[in-house]
Amino acid sequence: IDFVNMIITYIVKNGNIVDVKKTFSQQPFKNFGGGVSVLFRDKMPTVKLIMERVAQIKRNSEEIADVL
């Protein structure tokens, strides 16, 4: 839950996450026990789903920006 809240806070503060893999391997995401791969080491499908959702948020915001 804290990790997902951190993603939300990051997106609100910085806009989109352009490169999910790179961003998740840096601070503040790295604070979670060494990063997303360590935090979810036994649940990699969950990591993939989170990354897909973040990418979808980016696509949605780009589509909205194009309309405006």
12-57 pLDDT, tens per residue? 998 888 888 888 888 888 887 777 778 888 888 988 898 899 999 9
Q: Which residue has the tokens 């352009």?
A: 18
Range of the domain at 35: 1-67
What are the structure tokens assigned to 35, written together? 């990063």
pLDDT in the model for residue 8: 92
pLDDT in the model for residue 9: 93
Q: What are phi and psi of 42, to 5 degrees?
A: -95, 5
pTM reported for the whole predicted model: 0.78
| C-alpha to C-alpha distance for 1 and 5, rounded to whole angstroms | 6
pLDDT in the model for residue 1: 86
pLDDT in the model for residue 18: 87
Domains held by the chain: number: 1
